[in-house]
Chain A
Amino acid sequence: MYRSRSAGVMVLALGAFALFSSPALSETLRISHNLGLGGRESLDPVSPNRFLPAIAMIYDRLVNPGKNGLPEPSLALSWNSSADFTEWTLKLREGVRFHNGEPFSAEDAAFSLKRILNPKLASPVRSFLGIIDSVDAVDATTLRVQLKQAHADFLMLLTDYRVRMVSSKAAHGDLDAVLDSGIGTGPFKLSKLDARNTTVLAANPEHWEGKPGVEEVDIIAIADQDARNQALLAGQIDLASVAPNEVGLFKTNKQFVVQQVPAGKFNPIVMRTDVAPFNDIRVRKALKMLADRESLRKLVIGDANGSLACDEPVWPGDPYFNSSITCPTDVEGAKRLLSEAGYPNGLSLDLYTASVEPIMIPLAEAYQAQAAKAGVKVNVKVVPADGYWTNVWMKPNRPFVVGNWGQRAADQVLNEVFRAGAKWNETAWNRPDFEALLDQARSSASFEERKSIYGKAQAVLAEEGGQFIPFFRNETRVYSSSVDNVSHVPDNMLPWHKITKK
């Protein structure tokens, strides 16, 4: 009796062992996503709820961002424009097929771009691609784009991480349809969509760039940053971005590779320029002037993990970055401005933040301490991370919040975040003269002239805008040493299909 029972226990134990310890498929790359949209993650690349990084693996772009953000061929092989930069013609790659076997053609490319312009889909991308007037498929491999206004860097806009090619047939040509079927031309095909748990993608052996480096990608939902680090340490996932101050967990461990990629991610302290007291430019200026940016960077991310900023949203790696803007700390000047604005005894402000990114609470606390020196009492209000973007961010009754942006090219960030009516215009910036500058830059044929005009636009924001940007932060990526060929580029540019696993 005893013997048979113990044998039974052993069989059970072995069974459990086999179940739970099935050797990790070496051909499966396991990554995580932060469930930032609470399970509403959509496979429609232009949706505000776009599912990162799944859309980057399922769909291809016409052009990829290359060095300095300049376009490199992907589904489009070559391009040229009319002399006045209002008409662009793109030659598309031949022989590319969607995951359902249908060939990719200029019809699909035209359809994909038209969807972005459809107001019903409320895509944030529309705020900078709204300059497209019409798109036509001239023939199967030729796409013609007519712009409302000239734009010499139009192709740079197409390198955005959401401008991806979808199948018009899969959507039955319906421009209003939300595309959640996951039919793209990308290196991975959708096997199972489950944003709250594990989303499974399978390699697309027919991909035009060749067979991807791994057979399968599992995207596992892990909302908590600490849990994500633990999953990485325990080998449950192979690759993740970590906060700069968490690097110590992995640095000395030979099983991991730490990759520091210079990048232009930024966390602004956002002041809504249409709500008191931030509608007073003196208050905005004072709240920026009082800050010691070097010390903020050192405190929150460490000197080595990012570059200093002067409230211009264009990062130093961008060809249009204006390097002449300075922003010295001036606590006395800040006090004087506040006094002029009617706050001689300082003021008290509620700053909302959440642990959406690990540095968002420390940044608020570090800024709070500096603001106190200028007589500004900042009350840090920590609110839940889930729902932060829908319930707190960009709400007029929460005019002072910590934001979070990925790296964007100059024209993109300036248009996507600072045009009146843009979906993600978080500072409610409404300045026709500023928008005129952007239009002027777009239509200029000379790079130097564009640089000078974009530079002016950055200077306006630094001087008067509602974003306080103390620093840009790098991408800090950690991956298991069994993973290889992880390119030294930010996430939005990462060629996932090249990654291999031993």
Chain B
Amino acid sequence: MLEPASITDGAVGSADQKGLNVNSSPKRSFQKLLRIILSTPSGVVGFGVVAAHVVVALIAPAIVLHDPLAQDPNQIMAAPSWTHPFGTDLLGRDVLSRTLEGGRVAIAVTALSALLALIGGAAIGITAAMRGGWFDSLTMRLVESIGALPYLLFLLVLANAFPGSAFALVPALAIFYSTSIVRVSRAAALSVASADFVTAARVRGEKAITVLLREVLPNVLDVVLVDGALRWASMLLGFSSLSFLGFGVAPPTPDWGLMISDARNVMAIAPWAVFWPCVALSTLILGAIFLADAASKAVGLQRAPEGLNP
């Protein structure tokens, strides 16, 4: 097999010197990224917090002490106690159980949206970079137009059209939050597109899709994943804002945004009903940001010579 590095011009620098994955698979690039993330303190914290949240969300129904929907007329806004360690809310429901289950819908909806945004955004961004010309221009103008829309207002309108169906928001969330992924993946792909090993692959007569998947994708995946993590963090905040405003998750499903909204009028009487969902939501978002931050540092260090932007 032709070694791309060996045919490079010394003045440009070899692929290895540039930190490019010449012979890599997406899986290996992901593993490498994870390894680097876990070598920094903020990466460990971020990964730990996010993983803990995801695990809790998955097993919550099995570990909660009370039914999070069970209302108790005799325990309205009860202070924390042994039976209800986080107290109870306006309708006498257990705040601990609701907090533990409160991230399930938000995490599911935003993770699904982030995944869609990641796949769709990267596919469009890389294709735009590889094809160039009118397709590239059109894509970028479209991305800029979407970026100009007030997304929260737009989401509110959508949520109002489909009240109570949180999953109806997935396509909209994915589209809004994919714009930056399109930009980032396009920029990263542009810097790879001109690399000699890509040219070599083309010269070999590889199909465009093969070049894209085997030569370009592994080299931009890390950058795209970092941006995806950041998008996920801001999506969580956006989705919870919708729930807070009454447009995300339908009652009585436990959801942090909804719990904060329900209890905010009685914040001075039953602070626990607001405090714990706030803690849960902010730790998850902070964790996601730490994770993305550690990842971007890792990637940035490695790819600094080319830079993340064109």
Contact = CB atoms under 8 A, between A and B. Distances in A.
Contact of B250 (A226, A229, A248, A379): A379
Given A381-B163, A381-B164, A361 B262 contact: yes
A383 B91 contact: no
Contacts of B66: none
B160 A384 contact: yes
A446 interface: no
Nearest to A369: B71
Nearest to B243: A382
- Please indicate which of the listed interface residues B71, B76, B247, B265 has the most CB atoms of chain A within 10 Å of its own CB: B265
A243 B77 CA distance: 14
B268 A299 contact: no
A12 to B, nearest CB: 34
Interface in A344-361: 355, 358, 361
Contacts of A229: 265
Interface residues of A, number: 28
B265 A243 contact: yes
B246 A382 contact: yes
Interface in A369-403: 369, 379-384
A430 interface: no
A383 B163 contact: yes
A368 interface: yes
Contact of B251 (A298, A382, A383): A382
B164 A379 contact: yes
Contact of A246 (B247, B251, B265): B265
A302 B92 CA distance: 12
A245 B92 CA distance: 12
A225 interface: yes
Given A225-B265, A248-B266, A299-B92, A380 B71 contact: no
B160 A383 contact: yes
B10 interface: no
- By secondary structure, the A interface counts as helix
B133 interface: no
A362 interface: yes
Interface residues of B, number: 24
A177 interface: no
A381 B90 CA distance: 19
B250 to A, nearest CB: 6
Nearest to B162: A381
- By secondary structure, the B interface counts as loop
A204 B8 CA distance: 94
Contact of A382 (B69, B90, B164, B266): B164
Given A249-B269, A366-B71, A383-B160, A226 B262 contact: no
B252 A369 contact: yes
A295 interface: yes
Interface in A284-299: 295, 298-299
B264 interface: yes
A364 interface: yes
B23 to A, nearest CB: 54
A463 interface: no
A245 B76 contact: yes
B73 interface: yes
B16 to A, nearest CB: 57
- Please indicate which of the listed interface residues A225, A364, A368 has the most CB atoms of chain B within 10 Å of its own CB: A368
A366 B70 CA distance: 10
A496 B251 CA distance: 39
A293 to B, nearest CB: 11
A318 interface: no
A365 interface: yes
Contact of B91 (A246, A365, A380, A382): A365
A450 to B, nearest CB: 37
Given A226-B265, A382-B251, A366 B91 contact: yes
Contacts of B69: 369
Interface in B75-94: 76-77, 90-92
A358 B90 CA distance: 11
A359 to B, nearest CB: 10
Contacts of B266: 245-246, 248-249
Interface of B: 69-71, 73-74, 76-77, 90-92, 160, 163-164, 246-247, 250-252, 262, 264-266, 268-269
Interface of A: 225-226, 229, 243, 245-246, 248-249, 295, 298-300, 302, 355, 358, 361-362, 364-366, 368-369, 379-384
Given A362-B90, A380-B164, A384-B246, 4 more contacts: A229-B265, A248-B268, A249-B269, A381-B250
26 contacts: A225-B265, A243-B265, A245-B76, A246-B266, A248-B266, A248-B269, A300-B91, A355-B246, A361-B251, A361-B262, A362-B262, A365-B251, A366-B91, A369-B71, A369-B252, A379-B164, A379-B250, A380-B164, A380-B250, A380-B252, A381-B163, A381-B250, A382-B250, A383-B160, A383-B163, A383-B246
